[in-house]
A and B are shown apart, each in its own frame.
Chain A
């Protein structure tokens, strides 16, 4: 059995659990963007009526906001999928201990969990994209690229979070991750307002953080404004993050599981 096949088994185990509630998960995945777009896009967007829309790339606020929310959703889903459930499989439910008594190895566990995270986020992104289409935000078939871009954002975060979770002895660290990493990124990655509104030093910080690059890729593909010069840079940033995260996830999980 190759590492790839074994990764598939780890993925399959998650699917076995998830398939009992997939409809609930996707229904929630539909409802959430509808609520957000209605409240923030239409509600707040209406206040911006008649103002200069150049800051939003010449589109209405709701069109600018929607794709940003998809990127943020990808990060948040990855954070949920790769903290508590991973901790459960390490410590509370001891699933990994059971898997490691079989030919399934650490590399396959990391591969399977990342594939799972990609699948979950990919399916939610597809639903999200459908909502954006219903709101009339999607304007080009290139928008479909937003799905793989969302998956990439997801696995880039997941890999780093699995590495982090492998070092934790309890779940106290997770609330710090939510408060001091996920929330600031959610707010300051060009999701709700253009980074050009930030003072210069803060803008540089935002450029260095990962969600910003996801927002740029996803917004560019949905609005048909993907810049061929900067897009490869955003892509490279996320791929490097994924590579580093995966390397440490495997290393730290190995250290954790084999005493």
Chain B
């Protein structure tokens, strides 16, 4: 049954490719209007396959999927008319100018010329590319191309915007500018679905997250909820020499709720990092450096899957 208040409704959603590979294995989720919904997971977790099914560009193998109250199997064209899609790899038209990219794309939605022109003006301003309107696409920086792709995805005033790894491959400055624009978009009431393998992106942008790993959803909630449920409040990161590392014999485990031994450091999960650090010092364990920080989605992911997000 479709919940009336969900823009995307999936139950037992499965994608199996012709070669037998199961990319998405029976996932359930609901995307609420006006929220930013995130799929967090490492490469190959099934995020893009899920996106492609929602965007009606890849057929559903099994299970139930409703997008904006419609069935992608039979109403793909109607759904696409109301979607904005930002693909993982840019597919701007490099033979057209920046402005032509928007206006031509508008024509694919059968938007009249005068409306297309007006929207192109507004969107170029929104993504801060108005000064590049007459330029070709190729000389634009990676960040500018992404912003243009986002502007293009908004040309049909979509009810739902799908962004597949919107900031992968961008430098930090370009990422922050993009996040800021997406945040503005959210404030205007747009519904976003974002896939990412960056925990900071997920925390910054998403109201609700599902964590995917190996074709399945392994956890779900707001970033805060997920951290509260699957991690401690704080984390103490300790670096020690190899000699010390070999002589610890489980001493650290007694000091924290949980300890992760990474190749280059220990993560001690604890409610109060400073207090734990004091206890480490009291036991006269010689450390090279220590850092107390709040738990993040990275810790949640590590806890849920035993692996780091970005490998």
Contacts and interface: CB of A to CB of B under 8 A. Distances in A.
Interface of A: 1, 5-6, 9, 12-13, 16-17, 93-95, 97-105, 257-259
B147 interface: no
A95 B93 CA distance: 6
Contact of B57 (A13, A16, A17, A258): A258
Contacts of A102: 80-81, 105, 108-109, 156
B306 to A, nearest CB: 30
B255 to A, nearest CB: 50
B110 interface: yes
B279 interface: no
B77 A105 contact: yes
26 contacts: A6-B108, A6-B110, A9-B104, A9-B107, A9-B108, A9-B110, A12-B107, A17-B95, A17-B96, A93-B93, A97-B57, A97-B87, A98-B87, A98-B92, A98-B105, A99-B108, A100-B57, A101-B55, A102-B105, A102-B156, A103-B81, A103-B108, A103-B109, A258-B57, A258-B58, A258-B59
A148 B55 CA distance: 40
B83 interface: yes
Contacts of A105: 76-77
Nearest to A3: B77
A253 B55 CA distance: 18
A101 B93 contact: no
Interface residues of B, number: 29
B58 A259 contact: yes
Query: What are the 10 tightest A-B residue pairs by CB atom distance, in nearest-first order?
Result: A94-B91, A102-B108, A1-B110, A101-B85, A98-B91, A17-B95, A103-B77, A104-B108, A9-B107, A103-B81
B77 A98 contact: no
Given A6-B108, A12-B107, A103-B108, A98 B93 contact: yes
Contacts of B80: 101-103
A217 B17 CA distance: 47
Interface in B67-115: 76-78, 80-81, 83, 85, 87, 89, 91-96, 100, 104-105, 107-110
A208 to B, nearest CB: 35
Question: Which of B17, B109, B156 has the most A CB atoms < 10 Å from its CB?
Answer: B109
B55 A13 contact: no
The secondary-structure label for the interface of chain B is loop
A258 B156 CA distance: 23
Contacts of A100: 57
B3 to A, nearest CB: 26
B89 A12 contact: no
B83 A101 contact: yes
Nearest to A105: B77
A20 B107 CA distance: 19
Given A101-B83, A103-B80, A94 B108 contact: no
Contacts of B87: 94, 97-98, 101
Contacts of B17: 259
A97 B91 CA distance: 7
B23 to A, nearest CB: 10
A13 B93 contact: yes
A102 B107 CA distance: 10
A101 B94 CA distance: 17
Nearest to B93: A95
Question: Which of A17, A103, A104, A257 has the most B CB atoms < 10 Å from its CB?
Answer: A103
Contacts of A103: 77-78, 80-81, 108-110
A5 B76 CA distance: 17
A148 B182 CA distance: 51
A13 B109 contact: no
A41 B78 CA distance: 57
A104 to B, nearest CB: 5
Contacts of B94: 93
Contact of A13 (B78, B104, B110): B104
Nearest to B76: A105
Given A101-B85, A103-B81, A258-B58, A16 B104 contact: yes
Contacts of B109: 1, 102-103
